[in-house]
Structure 1
Amino acid sequence: MAVPEPTYGDFLRLDSLLSLPRESPDVHDAHFFFTVHQAFELLFKIILYELDATVAAVAADDIAVAVHCLRRVRSVEDVMVEQVATLETISPGSYALMRRTLGGASGLQSVQFREIECLSGLKRKNLLATLRMSGAERRRLERRLAEPSLWDEFQRLRARRGNPDLVKLYRSKVPVDEVTVLAEAMLDHDEGITMWRARHVLMVERVIGNSAGTGGSSGVSYLRATCERHFFPELWELRAEL
């Protein structure tokens, strides 16, 4: 008997995927809230996949592939920025009801987002001590902290090419050198995450005001401070030298 060809739903494993969203009999918005955050995690997964490919491409001196992957990363980040606005359809009152069901769970505990930070170059020594996570998540994060980041591979690329002066390269009116083109694609990624952080701050402030956040954070004040965290601060700072 011939095996039936897989359907669209089979390819995407929709039975499993669509069974994931949680619902609450008491709060209508709970289904929406959980589904949107699951969608964010799927987008984080795409970014990690593309960043892994970027790091490998830079290590192999394949700048064209690295830039291509980073362009996709930035496109996904633009989607993330727009997606934040959907959460503002949750009223402050509705979120207050739903918040009671969250316990100590918080977006701050997203290990995939911390992996994005580490893989990009933002590695904080106390990260493992401050996050609540499963054993499998801890092992993933330990690996990310130990492996070369995009910034590490960018520095190795520069070394292989004789450590060119980035300030001199940036003085070109049209950046065509591969190192500069890659650096700008990296900044696009850095900027995309910063824009997402900033948009997230406004959404949280609109929903909970200056209340403390879940997971033990101080809320808006903490989130606003994270907007100052750049993956590649050296690339931002060199502009002052042009």
Structure 2
Amino acid sequence: MSLTYTNYLKINELLELQQLKSDPKEHDETLFIIIHQTYELWFKQIIHEFGKLNKELSAGNTWISIKTMRRILTIMKTLVSQVDILETMTPLEFNSFRKFLGESSGFQSLQFREIEILCGLRFPLMKEAHKDDPKHIEILEQKMEEPTIWESFCAYLKKKGYSVSSPRENERGLVFNTSDENQKELIKMMNEHQEAALVSELLVDFDEGLQEWRYRHVKMVQRTIGTKKGTGGSEGVAYLQRTLNQTIFPDLWEIRSSF
């Protein structure tokens, strides 16, 4: 069989993946499934781009790192804008099929946990949602062995001649601890090295973009289910609100008041 658009992209298989659980079938469940499947595809691409970014940063390659970061940022804008589509669904329309979702929850997204890990997050609940799936636990543990974006950026700065030390892990399993010594080097870099400064600003753009996505997500959940628990018994809005304003590159934010 010759290669066609349909068989190359597995279109027939793709269009069979939207399998509704509601009975009778509810119209808006199709939108709900497609949006979340699309999120997972974009998560996959972000993880893929993170792999390239870590490699290029560690090698000190500025312009490829910049190009990769710009692609990631464009994907993040797409993730945020997709919330607009989901918000065309009213609370009544969501609740018409919510009871059919059983124990499933966005909290169980393996790939989003992988993204968080690469951003420097480490906390026990990351594994809790996957404790019954050894393969998922293995993937998370392997991801924790990979360098984070911040560690790769520190390696990049060392390549450029700045005396940054390896980041220290936060004892609570959140992002790395801030470092006064590293902040001094970051300030020096921002004043001396325009290209490295551009890379650092793109990291701040991503940090801000991730916070924006979290905010839009929590407000979407809040307007849809209020303060009720999420599907699968998750805390819902209460948990999501705790993730707001959680920066992943705190040193880059701390130096803002020094200019």
**What is the TM-score with the length of structure 1 in the denominator?**
0.90
Matches within 5 A, 1:118-129: 118-129=117-128
Partner of 2:258: 241
SS in structure 2 of the partner of residue 89 of structure 1: coil
Partner of 2:9: 12
In the alignment, the residues of structure 2 paired with residue 218 and residue 126 of structure 1 have an alpha-carbon distance, to the nearest angstrom, of: 12
- The amino acid of 2:228's aligned partner reads S
SS in structure 2 of the partner of residue 179 of structure 1: helix
Partner of 2:104: 105
Partner of 1:189: 206
In the alignment, the residues of structure 1 paired with residue 41 and residue 87 of structure 2 have an alpha-carbon distance, to the nearest angstrom, of: 20
SS in structure 2 of the partner of residue 211 of structure 1: coil
In the alignment, the residues of structure 1 paired with residue 133 and residue 33 of structure 2 have an alpha-carbon distance, to the nearest angstrom, of: 19
Is the Cα contact below 8 Å between 2:107 and 2:129 reproduced in 1? no
Deviation at 1:171, TM superposition (A): 4.5
- Segments of structure 2 that go 5 or more residues without pairing to the other structure are 165-184
In the alignment, the residues of structure 1 paired with residue 70 and residue 156 of structure 2 have an alpha-carbon distance, to the nearest angstrom, of: 19
Is the Cα contact below 8 Å between 2:130 and 2:136 reproduced in 1? no
Partner of 2:34: 35
State the percentage of identical aligned residues: 36
- Structure 2 vs 1, CA of residues 124 and 241 (structure 1 numbering), >3 Å: closer, same or farther? farther
Asked if 1:153 corresponds to 2:152, the answer is yes
In the alignment, the residues of structure 2 paired with residue 37 and residue 146 of structure 1 have an alpha-carbon distance, to the nearest angstrom, of: 28
Asked if 1:214 corresponds to 2:231, the answer is yes
Number of residues of Structure 1 aligned to a counterpart in Structure 2: 236
In the alignment, the residues of structure 2 paired with residue 74 and residue 68 of structure 1 have an alpha-carbon distance, to the nearest angstrom, of: 10
SS in structure 2 of the partner of residue 100 of structure 1: helix
- The amino acid of 1:166's aligned partner reads L
**What is the TM-score with the length of structure 2 in the denominator?**
0.84
Is the Cα contact below 8 Å between 2:66 and 2:199 reproduced in 1? yes
Is the Cα contact below 8 Å between 1:111 and 1:133 reproduced in 2? no
- Segments of structure 1 that go 5 or more residues without pairing to the other structure are none
- The amino acid of 1:91's aligned partner reads T
Deviation at 1:184, TM superposition (A): 1.1
Is the Cα contact below 8 Å between 1:22 and 1:35 reproduced in 2? no
Is the Cα contact below 8 Å between 2:207 and 2:249 reproduced in 1? yes
- Structure 2 vs 1, CA of residues 126 and 35 (structure 1 numbering), >3 Å: closer, same or farther? closer
- Structure 2 vs 1, CA of residues 193 and 124 (structure 1 numbering), >3 Å: closer, same or farther? same
Is the Cα contact below 8 Å between 1:21 and 1:31 reproduced in 2? yes
SS in structure 2 of the partner of residue 32 of structure 1: helix
Deviation at 1:166, TM superposition (A): 1.1
- The amino acid of 1:188's aligned partner reads D
SS in structure 1 of the partner of residue 100 of structure 2: coil
In the alignment, the residues of structure 1 paired with residue 227 and residue 206 of structure 2 have an alpha-carbon distance, to the nearest angstrom, of: 29
Is the Cα contact below 8 Å between 1:22 and 1:30 reproduced in 2? no
Find 2:219's aligned residue among 180, 202, 215: 202
Deviation at 1:8, TM superposition (A): 0.7
Deviation at 1:241, TM superposition (A): 2.4
Is the Cα contact below 8 Å between 1:122 and 1:230 reproduced in 2? no
SS in structure 1 of the partner of residue 31 of structure 2: helix
CA deviation map 1:26-79 (0-9, x unaligned): 222111111110011001111111111100111111121111111101101101
Deviation at 1:218, TM superposition (A): 2.2
Is the Cα contact below 8 Å between 2:77 and 2:209 reproduced in 1? yes
Deviation at 1:7, TM superposition (A): 0.9
In the alignment, the residues of structure 2 paired with residue 131 and residue 57 of structure 1 have an alpha-carbon distance, to the nearest angstrom, of: 31
CA deviation map 1:167-209 (0-9, x unaligned): 133357xxx5332221111111111111111111111111111
